[in-house]
């Protein structure tokens, strides 16, 4: 210890300090990068989940249809579920029910594959992804 050159010692400690500062800076940048990546990923995940529910989730879509039917006052609808398709058949409808149904349908996200609308019946095919 006695023979350590004080200038060498001081310079070495300054270098250690610089290394510490540099490594902290690098760690901070890495953290920011990871944070950003995580936030982007989270956003993507939320987007994915929302989209999946709207276009792929049979349960969610069926619930949406039932909600529309209920608020349109349609009770005698026939819902047929197939692999990638949900068919909703409504007959003996009055104009009010049709108008309400269409209005409600326009306010929901539904992948309309086929629509047959007359003045007393609606046949709606909803596609699933």
Residues in the interface with another protein (CB under 8 A) total 53
CA distance 71 to 40: 37
DSSP string, 5-19: -HHHHHHHHHHHHHH
Q: Provide the minimum distance between the beta carbon of 30 and another protein in the complex, in angstroms, as a whole number.
A: 5
Question: Torsions phi, psi of 76, nearest 5?
Answer: -100, 45
For the CB of residue 128, give the shortest distance to another protein in the complex, in Å.
10
Task: Specify the residue, 16 or 80, whose C-beta has the smaller distance to another protein.
Answer: 16
**Residues 16-45 vs another protein: string with x where CB under 8 A?**
xx-xxx-xx--xx-xx--xx-xx--xx-xx
Phi-psi region of 53 (alpha: psi -120 to 50; beta: other; left: phi over 0): alpha
| Binding residue (CB under 8 A) for another protein from 7, 59, 75, 83 | 7
């Amino acid at each position: 210890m006695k023979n350590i050159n004080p200038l060498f010692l001081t310079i070495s400690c300054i270098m250690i300090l610089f290394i510490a500062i540099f490594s902290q800076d690098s760690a901070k940048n890495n953290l920011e990068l990871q944070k950003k990546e995580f936030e982007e990923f989270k956003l993507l995940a939320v987007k994915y989940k929302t989209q999946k529910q709207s276009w792929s989730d049979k349960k969610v879509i069926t619930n949406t249809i039932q909600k529309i039917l209920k608020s349109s006052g349609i009770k005698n609808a026939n819902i047929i579920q197939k692999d990638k398709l949900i068919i909703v058949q409504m007959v003996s409808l009055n104009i009010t029910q049709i108008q309400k149904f269409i209005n409600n349908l326009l306010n929901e996200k539904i992948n309309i594959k086929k629509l047959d609308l007359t003045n007393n019946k609606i046949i709606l095919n909803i596609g699933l992804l």
